[in-house]
Homo-oligomer: A and B are copies of this chain.
Amino acid sequence: MFLLTPVLAAVACILIVWLFKNAGRSIERRKGEPTGRTEARPWMDEDFKDSTDLCQVEEDADESQESEENVEHIAFSHTRYPEKEMVKRSQEFYELLNKRRSIRFISNEQIPMEVIDNVIRAAGTAPSGAHTEPWTFVVVKDPDTKRKIREIIEEEEEINYLKRMGHRWVTDLKKLRTNWIKEYLDTAPVLILIFKQVHGFAANGQRKVHYYSEISVSIACGILLAALQIAKIVLKELAFITFLIL
């Protein structure tokens, strides 16, 4: 049992800012608002916006009352562990997390959907700017959809390696022996696509700014990685900043 070949199951986490306008339809959505509604803009503009919230002065309608009544308030309760227990638990967590690796060879063994649901739920507990929860998690299991995703990603990555990112980036990556071929996107039983919602919509249909959305989504990804490691699910995380096909 302990000598079994390692990679038993896999999840690829992809951080995509904007997926092309209509492709989301064929993919099962697990949480959040449809990204298909979002207004397409040159990606650099959007990415820039995320980092420049400090300058943003949008004087749109007041939406602070939006869905206030739907929020369930849960009283906070807390029991502190004895110091020894604190130390023990933090030590064990570190040791477990320290075993996580970014694996590029992934087995096709299935994972119970309940586990996938739980890790995404855990990720959704992340804090976010102004509590906007600006993330959408999409779980893909269908082989054809996985294949299409792989094709899109490989196409974009090839451009990254060959021209977009430049000599320096390619050189820096050399020691990691990576390239644009992502076979594991076909092999893995489950892909989790993670979308950053640059903005959402209020109940009245108006745009609602999501502050610090990239930071918030990335924090949620950190918790997702921890949750996967807790369940000892092997994964290949993959950061994709941008996809924009108008």
A residues with a Cβ closer than 8 A to B are 1-2, 4, 6-9, 15, 44, 47-48, 50-60, 62-65, 68, 76-81, 83, 86-87, 89-91, 93-94, 97-98, 100-103, 109, 111-112, 114-115, 118-119, 121-122, 125-127, 129-131, 160, 164-169, 171-176, 208-209, 211-212, 214-227, 230-234, 237, 239, 241-242
Known: A76-B6, A232-B78. A175 touches B51 (CB 8 A): no
Check A64 against B172 for contact (C-beta < 8 Å).
Answer: yes
Known: A78-B8, A212-B241, A219-B221. A86 touches B115 (CB 8 A): yes
Q: In the bound complex, what is the Cα–Cα distance between A204 and B4 (angstroms)?
A: 43
Q: Most B CB atoms within 10 A — which of A125, A126, A219?
A: A219
Which B residue sits closest to A91, measured CB to CB?
B118
Known: A48-B51, A55-B44, A112-B83. A214 touches B214 (CB 8 A): yes
- Contact of A54 (CB < 8 Å), options: B53, B68, B125, B164: B164
